[in-house]
Structure 1
């Protein structure tokens, strides 16, 4: 009887410990809050685009941009034939390198024989970076990444690399739907998640998802929403990102960069753009 009682006490104690496990949150969870100060207002799409001599998803491009402006870098992660994680947006390397073939059919060693091209088709001396190489750099440069995970990569693989490099304080995971967000939170409750909140339907779904608001960074899409959506998101101390990449960037280029200020005044906290220098200059001069 004593042994049974002792076993019961042990189960209760272990249960209490597991229920009260303290999760050490990452730095982005603390920094990317409405109530915080010093949040970077620019997110450079694909690590920086449209720059002569500097390709997208390129470590040297990110170094170049971060030397001039405070910025978050959105990067794309793909997997090679030998299961290495590299920065690449497309399935094929034709558009962005001097090589050819699918990333998934090429080894890292093969990929490293090619050079990256800028958005104007000119070759550079820069190589395709691995996620590990970029994580080592962000730890020394104190910048943040939002990580877009491509179809042939499981989020668990990216999380493992982040943890192995002890880079949790620099990484935000991008999710596109509730299923992805819940899986990412379950695997890495210490990380901040970029979640889709393009309308009240998506936002209300997130409210009832079980994911804490502190783990959310709300991507409100690439079109302007009603300010009431931004107000609702802000009421939970969650920041709003607007993707100006594409149509809105083209509108600002045609009609004037003051539009970035107009959009920020609507309630946008971070502008994800293909024009990081132009957008930053407009916001800085406001």
Structure 2
């Protein structure tokens, strides 16, 4: 009986520790702690495992990512699976559109590594992906806002509502309507700074919604809309930038950062950005630590 009590206590402690990690991430995100820059793993850690796989999620968490970005598509039989493309040609040993195949059919194929070699992993369901994230890492579900009514039962079943971040270019009214009843899901608006409507869109969210962060996109670093970034920062809101490729971050992208981090990641940080989505998880985290931007004690 005594051993059972000790074991139960240990399990409870481990569970509390795991949950406190998610609570800590949410608190940092919502408090907009400027000394902590969030690292988001694009499609998971696809350099170590197939993109959008359970392995990629776990590897990203192991490397210290705060959030993983995943893409979802709906199968012929109404199941949600992880895949960026609308077909499985590039990332598996199969061919065809996801919408034309059942989950059972999709599960018969193996995912490829980025070099084209086959892995032992199969296409994960959204449920499998959320369970891999649970208690370890926040998750941005790409297209999740569009499918919220359909995926919410999966989110509830896995107990990961407080892990989920959704993004989109929806209006304040649309976001409030769709997220009614989902108080733990975080929504972040996305704005292209080169659009003529960018200023009004940003203003509407800052004054009417108060988001934790706003994602900004810009193909050049001297576009007029860049003046909106200080406005967002001064409001206390976080700014999210994708350093995945040049057209999203004015040319200050990951591969250039591998050669000159200060001119690329450093340039982004100098603008007040505190959330970066990257394809170079470990390298970015090490760079942020060198700048004292991963919290106390780094």
Is structure 2 residue 174 aligned with structure 1 residue 191? no
Cα distance change on mapping 1:255 and 1:38 into 2, 3 Å: closer
Cα distance change on mapping 1:219 and 1:236 into 2, 3 Å: same
Q: How many matched pairs?
A: 256
In the alignment, the residues of structure 1 paired with residue 176 and residue 270 of structure 2 have an alpha-carbon distance, to the nearest angstrom, of 31
Return the TM-score normalized by structure 1. 0.78
Q: Which runs of 4+ in 1 moved over 6 A?
A: none
Q: Any conservation in 2 of the 1:222–1:243 contact (CA below 8 Å)?
A: no
In the alignment, the residues of structure 1 paired with residue 217 and residue 36 of structure 2 have an alpha-carbon distance, to the nearest angstrom, of 19
In the alignment, the residues of structure 2 paired with residue 183 and residue 87 of structure 1 have an alpha-carbon distance, to the nearest angstrom, of 26
Aligned to 1:20: none
Q: Any conservation in 2 of the 1:75–1:146 contact (CA below 8 Å)?
A: yes
Deviation at 1:35, TM superposition (A): 3.7
In the alignment, the residues of structure 2 paired with residue 137 and residue 172 of structure 1 have an alpha-carbon distance, to the nearest angstrom, of 16
In the alignment, the residues of structure 1 paired with residue 182 and residue 89 of structure 2 have an alpha-carbon distance, to the nearest angstrom, of 34
Alignment of structure 1 residues 1-286 onto 2, 5 Å: 30-33=27-30, 35-36=32-33, 39=36, 41-49=38-46, 51=47, 53-141=48-136, 143-149=137-143, 154-178=147-171, 181-186=175-180, 188-199=182-193, 201-208=197-204, 212-213=209-210, 215-223=211-219, 224=221, 228-247=227-246, 248-249=252-253, 252-253=256-257, 255-258=259-262, 259-286=264-291
Specify the structure having the higher radius of gyration (Cα). Answer: 1
RMSD: 2.8
In the alignment, the residues of structure 1 paired with residue 62 and residue 258 of structure 2 have an alpha-carbon distance, to the nearest angstrom, of 27
Q: Any conservation in 2 of the 1:115–1:124 contact (CA below 8 Å)?
A: yes
Q: Which has the higher mean CA deviation after the structures are superposed, 30-39 or 167-176?
A: 30-39
Q: Any conservation in 2 of the 1:34–1:238 contact (CA below 8 Å)?
A: no
Q: Any conservation in 2 of the 1:81–1:104 contact (CA below 8 Å)?
A: yes
In the alignment, the residues of structure 2 paired with residue 89 and residue 198 of structure 1 have an alpha-carbon distance, to the nearest angstrom, of 21
